């Protein structure tokens, strides 16, 4: 009898298991029968402050069948304009993330270059979305996506280098118009007391750094933020949740070290405050646990700093020989630990033919420059014997004169955006810089080009590694180093895949500079051999557990984000 019962039980068990697997459904995509009806959308709209968005790739204006009223020359002339791109719900800053490359080699895209003769398609631009202006808008959108099991995408400025703000046939929440900014010289985190008061700057989810800088400057305060031509990166989206670096981080810490409070619409649609008094686990996760994984952030409050004068020192040299390049690059790498500890940061571009490096720090004197930076500049000028070498130092009354100029017409042409690009990167560890400077320099020079974000060390290294979710490897780093793969519109799928394999090889090749394979998730590759380790280090398991509490169904899932490995490559079906 017993045996008989057992035999019956086994098929039953298989049935139960098969059913429970079926219960974990794939996300519903636009075009599928499960997609909400017009009536469902009408009912959603009745809870929204704005009409629904129908985002389209910006180049669709050049294909009148799709968009009869479009202005093609407008789209083409703003290709490299990061502010313009951020203002379009269907535009992305790196335009490859507007298109979709299928496994079978087909590409769905809409190219600005109409002479290619390729028809315009929607690609990875979500076809429908919510133009969120209020907390209630976001709540209605999140609940709607949850109820209909939609593939959900949160888009802010569209700067993401891993395409995490686009998604084929997904439903979009556009946070760009959540533009509130308030400065409060006595900001008290909710639940805290007067003793916790700070000079706080609260920025809404759609605020961009140039706007945050304007308000901070009006109040004579400095806020650590993203630095790019036009200041178009979001101040309360991917930047902060991924870590948030700045050349001023060696002096004042990373974004995550300066954030004191978040407000958020959680995956269940509830609005909440996360700070050191409320939802501490979520507060921890939001500081480096990666964007797009925890709900929709509504605002972030940053601690601000005294506005201080600053100095910029720039070196621009060309290398006559590989030996000269090696000796200059070795000297540079070896200098990062000491300089960062003195509060210097900066940005650079290095290849076997040239180095362009800008160092900057607030609150330093000419004497400081003479004793720290100038010896290196002298060394480089002598080693290269470059007659056109540029080695110059410029003081600024405050950092905004440099990073947020009121007339940024020149910066518009910086060509930082509008390309088709993927990155490969690693954080440069202090240990490699100190102990293996020459080996590191030789490795960096083996790439066509490396970008150097000198944004770690100093104050970044002093923060308690477990105080925030950010990969603890950041605390042992002195810089972030990246290289890229680039292509043009119209490139064949075969060639793109070849370039992508090259990016994957670059990731592995950079490993020696970061013994723990640590990197900055916001400027990284889609082909990380182990993204959990590289992006989150030993904080991953705790993050996964926190996600289970707030988002048990993984409504919020992004490429190489927490729990993303439990989904297929298009983040549509559970594995
Ligand atoms: C030109 C350029 C310059 C850059 N400069 C810097 C720099 O100086 N320092 C630096 O650290 N990084 C820099 N970055 C990288 C930047 O941090 C990332 O691209 C980041 O993802 C941008 O976030 P975003 O919100 O502006 O962009 P988006 O692409 O719109 O969003 C990025 C990610 O955040 C999620 N997200 C956005 N808003 C929310 C929200 N409110 N709630 C939940 N999830 C949200 C999205 O779903 C997506 O996963 C730069 C990138 C570019 C292209
Ligand atoms: C189209 O865009 C161009 C470039 O931005 C602009 O000069 C022109 O006025 C626009 N035309 C129309 C009809 O809006
Ligand atoms: C490739 O796959 C896509 C999506 O399934 C399909 O639309 C397209 O027709 C396919 N292309 C080829 C060449 O088979
Ligand atoms: C557009 O594509 C054509 C054909 O490949 C090419 O010759 C031309 O240079 C491209 N134009 C631009 C602006 O990239
Ligand atoms: C923006 O600020 C206004 C005025 O203080 C306030 O009424 C509104 O609720 C704020 N919006 C959000 C999304 O916080
Ligand atoms: C650096 O030097 C190169 C070669 O002389 C030059 O082409 C480039 O414009 C210079 N860049 C800056 C920012 O000075
Ligand atoms: C700026 O420098 C002055 C003089 O060295 C020093 O007293 C002050 O503490 C410094 N301030 C900051 C924020 O570093
Ligand atoms: C720094 O060095 C420059 C050039 O070498 C010199 O002119 C200047 O007097 C020095 N300044 C200080 C404060 O040492
Ligand atoms: C200048 O460089 C040459 C060779 O590159 C080296 O021999 C010399 O010592 C250097 N001089 C100084 C002052 O560093
Ligand atoms: C310099 O780099 C280029 C591009 O990567 C490469 O083709 C060239 O061989 C390198 N030169 C030397 C001397 O290593």
CA distance 146 to 556: 10
- Nearest ligand to the CA atom of 251: 7
**Nearest ligand 6 atom, CA 317:** 2
Residues 6+ apart with CB under 8 A from 496: 101, 107, 487
| Residue with the larger pLDDT of the pair 12 and 96 | 96
Q: What is the Cα–Cα distance from 530 to 563, expressed in whole angstroms?
A: 13
Q: Which protein residue's CA is at the shortest distance from atom 11 of ligand 5?
A: 134
Are the C-beta atoms of residues 306 and 221 closer than 8 Å to each other?
yes
pLDDT digit string, tens, across residues 78-105: 999 999 999 999 999 999 999 999 999 9
**C-beta of residue 421 within 8 angstroms of C-beta of residue 485:** yes
Question: What is the 3-state secondary structure of 102-113?
Answer: CCCCCEECCCCC
The strand pairing partners of 422, in sequence order, are 485
Q: Name which of 30-34, 405-409, 555-559 the model is least confident about.
A: 405-409
Dist. CA 304–CA 185, nearest whole Å? 9
Distance separating alpha carbons of residues 300 and 284, to the nearest angstrom? 13
Gap between the Cα atoms of 243 and 470, Å rounded? 6
Q: 355 CA distance to ligand 10 centroid (A)?
A: 14
Q: How many CB atoms sit inside 10 A of residue 565's CB?
A: 13
CATH number given to 181-306: 3.30.465.10
Q: Is the CB of 383 under 6 A from ligand 9?
A: yes
| CA–CA distance, 27 with 126 (Å, rounded to integer) | 14
Please list, in sequence order, all residues whose beta carbon lies within 8 angstroms of the beta carbon of residue 388, skipping any fewer than 6 positions away.
318
Query: In this structure, are strands 450-454 and 171-174 parallel, antiparallel, or unpaired?
Result: unpaired
* Class of the CATH domain delimited by 310-397+418-529: alpha beta
Among the listed residues 204, 216, 276, 218, the one whose alpha carbon sits nearest the alpha carbon of residue 252:
216
Q: What's the gap in Å between 147 CA and the centre of ligand 3?
A: 30
Q: Whose CA is nearest to atom 6 of ligand 3?
A: 106
Burial class (CB in 10 A: 0-12, 13-18, 19+), 356: middle
Parse the chain into domains and list their residue ranges: 39-171, 181-306, 310-397+418-529
Q: Which region, left, alpha or beta, applies to residue 31 given φ > 0 means left and ψ of -120 to 50 means alpha?
A: left
Instruction: Please enumerate in sequence order all residues whose Cβ is within 8 A of that of 479, keeping only pairs 6 or more positions apart, or say none.
Output: 336, 427, 428, 433, 452, 453, 454, 455, 456, 457
Identify any residues that bridge with 398 across adjacent strands, giving them in sequence order. none
9 pLDDT more than 90: no
Distance 179 CA to ligand 5 centre (A): 9
For the stretch 235-261, pLDDT in tens is: 999 999 999 999 999 999 999 999 999
Give which of 307, 327, 309 is closest to 317, Cα–Cα.
Answer: 327
pLDDT for the residue 229? 84
Find out whether the beta carbon of 545 lies less than 6 Å from any atom of ligand 4: no
Q: Long-range pairs for 277-282 at CB < 8 Å and ≥24 separation?
A: 277/189, 277/190, 277/191, 277/192, 278/190, 278/191, 281/546, 281/549, 282/546, 282/550
Nearest protein CA to atom 4 of ligand 8, as residue: 370
Report the pLDDT value the prediction gives residue 10, as an integer from 0 to 100.
46
> What is the CA(363)–ligand 7 centre distance, in A?
6
- Per-residue pLDDT, averaged over 564-575, amounts to 97
Pick the residue whose CA is nearest to atom 11 on ligand 3.
106
pLDDT at 66: 61
Tell me 47's DSSP state. T
**Burial class (CB within 10 angstroms; exposed 0-12, middle 13-18, buried 19+) of 367:** exposed
Q: Is 322 in the pocket of ligand 6 (CB under 6 A)?
A: no
The burial class, CB within 10 Å (0-12 / 13-18 / 19+), for 91 is buried
Confidence at residue 329, expressed as pLDDT on a 0 to 100 scale? 99
Tell me, in angstroms, the distance from the centre of ligand 2 to residue 70's CA.
10
Distance, CA 456 to ligand 8 centroid (Å)?
28
Ligand 1, atom 3, residue with closest C-alpha? 228
The crossing angle, in degrees rounded to 10, of helices 366-384 and 322-341 is 170
Quick check: 68 pLDDT over 70? Answer: no
What pLDDT does 4 receive? 46
pLDDT band with cut points at 50, 70 and 90 for residue 3: very low
Closest-lying ligand 1 atom to the alpha carbon of residue 228: 3
pLDDT confidence bin for 410, thresholds 50/70/90? very low
Ligand 3 centroid to 166 CA: how many Å? 20
Q: How far is the CA of 72 from the centre of ligand 8 (A)?
A: 54
Closest ligand 6 atom to 390 CA: 14
Condensed to tens digits (0 to 9), the pLDDT of residues 305-350 reads 999 999 999 999 999 999 999 999 999 999 999 999 999 999 999 9
Strands 171-174 and 128-131: parallel
Nearest ligand to the CA atom of 81: 1
Gap from CA of 352 to ligand 10 centroid (Å): 6
Answering whether pTM is above 0.85, one says yes
Return the closest-CA partner of residue 517 out of 550, 494, 540, 498: 540
CA of 78 to the centre of ligand 2 (A): 11
pLDDT, tens only, 135-150: 999 999 999 999 999 9
**For ligand 7, which residues put their CB under 6 angstroms from it?**
306, 363
Q: For ligand 1, say whether the CB of 81 is within 6 Å of any of its atoms.
A: no
With tokens 């790019």, the residue in question is 228
| Shortest-distance atom of ligand 1 to CA 236 | 41
Which residues, judged by CB distance below 6 Å to any ligand atom, belong to the binding site of ligand 3? 102, 104, 106
Q: What is the Cα–Cα distance from 459 to 467, expressed in whole angstroms?
A: 14
How many angstroms separate the alpha carbon of residue 312 from the centre of ligand 7? 17
Neighbours of 281 (CB within 10 A): 15
Ligand 4 in contact with 465 (CB < 6 A)? no
What is the Å distance from ligand 1's center to 249 Cα?
Answer: 17
Inter-CA distances, 51 with 54, 133, 144, 287, 448, Å: 9, 11, 15, 33, 47
In this structure, which residue's CA is closest to atom 8 in ligand 5? 134
Rounded Cα–Cα distance for residues 25 and 22 (Å): 6
Ligand lying nearest the CA atom of residue 29? 3
Residues of the chain with pLDDT > 90, as a percent, come to 92
User: What tokens does 566 get?
Assistant: 């439990």
**Contact predicate 160/522, CB 8 Å:** yes
Give the pLDDT confidence score for residue 412 in this predicted structure: 52
Q: What is the pLDDT of residue 69?
A: 75
Cα 151 to Cα 573: distance, rounded to the nearest angstrom: 10
> What is the pLDDT at residue 20?
45
Asked whether 56 lines ligand 9 (CB < 6 A), one says no
Please name the residue whose Cα sits nearest to atom 5 of ligand 3. 102
* 233 Cα: distance to centroid of ligand 1 (angstroms): 6
Inform me whether the pLDDT recorded for 194 exceeds 60. Answer: yes
Residue 370 CB–ligand 8 contact under 6 Å:
yes
Pocket of ligand 10 (CB under 6 A): 322, 352, 448
Q: Is 17's C-beta closer than 6 angstroms to any atom of ligand 6?
A: no
Q: For 554-563, what is the mean pLDDT? A: 98
316 bridge partner residues:
356, 390
Q: How confident is the model at residue 65 (pLDDT cuts 50, 70, 90)?
A: confident
Residue with CA nearest ligand 6 atom 4: 318
Q: Is the CB of 391 under 6 A from ligand 6?
A: no
Q: What distance in Å separates the CA atoms of residue 164 and residue 326, rounded to the nearest whole number?
A: 37
Ligand 8 and 102: CB distance under 6 A: no
């Amino acid at each position: 009898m017993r045996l008989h019962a057992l035999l019956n039980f086994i098929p039953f068990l298989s049935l139960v298991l098969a059913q429970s697997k079926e219960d974990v459904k794939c996300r519903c995509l636009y075009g599928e029968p499960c997609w909400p009806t017009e009536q469902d959308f009408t009912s959603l709209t009745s809870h929204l402050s704005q009409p629904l968005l129908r985002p389209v790739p910006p180049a669709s204006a050049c294909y009148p069948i799709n968009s009869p009223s479009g202005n093609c020359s407008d789209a083409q002339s703003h290709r490299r304009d990061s502010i313009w791109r951020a203002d379009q719900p269907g535009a992305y800053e790196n335009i490859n993330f507007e298109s979709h490359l299928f496994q079978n080699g087909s590409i769905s895209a809409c190219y600005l270059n109409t002479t290619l003769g390729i028809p315009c398609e929607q690609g990875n631009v979500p076809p429908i979305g919510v133009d969120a202006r209020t907390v209630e808008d976001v709540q209605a959108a999140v609940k709607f996506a949850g109820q209909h099991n939609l593939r959900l995408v949160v888009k802010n400025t569209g700067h993401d280098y891993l395409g995490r703000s686009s998604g084929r046939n997904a439903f979009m929440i556009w946070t760009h118009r959540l533009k509130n900014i308030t400065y409060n010289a006595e900001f008290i985190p909710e639940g805290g007391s007067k003793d916790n008061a700070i000079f706080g700057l609260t920025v809404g989810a759609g605020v961009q750094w140039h706007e945050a800088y304007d308000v901070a400057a009006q109040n004579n305060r400095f806020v650590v933020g993203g630095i790019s031509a036009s200041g178009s990166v979001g101040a309360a989206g991917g930047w902060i949740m991924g870590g948030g670096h700045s050349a001023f981080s060696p002096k004042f810490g990373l974004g995550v070290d300066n954030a004191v409070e978040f407000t958020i619409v959680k995956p269940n649609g509830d609005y909440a405050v996360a700070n050191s008094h409320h939802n501490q686990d979520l507060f921890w996760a939001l500081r480096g646990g990666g964007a797009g994984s925890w709900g929709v952030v509504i605002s972030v409050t940053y601690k601000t700093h005294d506005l201080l004068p600053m100095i910029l020192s720039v070196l621009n040299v060309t290398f006559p020989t590989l030996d000269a390049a090696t000796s200059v690059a070795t000297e540079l790498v070896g200098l990062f630990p000491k300089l960062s500890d003195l509060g210097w940061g900066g940005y650079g571009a290095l290849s076997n033919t040239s180095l362009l490096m800008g160092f900057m720090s607030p609150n330093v004197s000419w004497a400081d420059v003479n004793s720290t930076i100038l010896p290196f500049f002298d060394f480089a000028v002598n080693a290269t014997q470059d007659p056109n070498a540029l080695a110059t130092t410029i003081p600024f009354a405050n950092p905004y004169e440099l990073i947020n100029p009121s007339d940024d017409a020149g910066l518009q042409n910086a060509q930082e955006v509008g390309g088709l690009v993927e990155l490969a990167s690693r954080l440069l560890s202090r240990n490699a810089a100190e102990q293996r400077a020459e080996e590191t320099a030789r490795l960096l020079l083996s790439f066509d080009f490396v970008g150097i974000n000198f944004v770690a060390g100093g104050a970044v290294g002093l923060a308690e590694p477990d105080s925030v979710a950010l990969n603890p490897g950041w605390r042992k780093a002195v810089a972030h180093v990246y290289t890229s793969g680039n292509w043009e519109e119209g490139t064949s799928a075969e060639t793109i895949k070849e370039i992508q394999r090259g990016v994957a090889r670059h990731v592995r090749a950079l490993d020696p500079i970061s013994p723990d394979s640590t990197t900055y998730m916001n400027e990284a590759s889609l082909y990380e051999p182990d993204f959990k380790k590289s992006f989150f280090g030993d904080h991953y398991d705790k993050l996964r557990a926190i996600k289970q509490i707030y988002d048990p169904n993984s409504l919020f899932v992004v490429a190489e984000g927490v729990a993303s490995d439990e989904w297929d490559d298009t983040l549509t079906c559970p594995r």
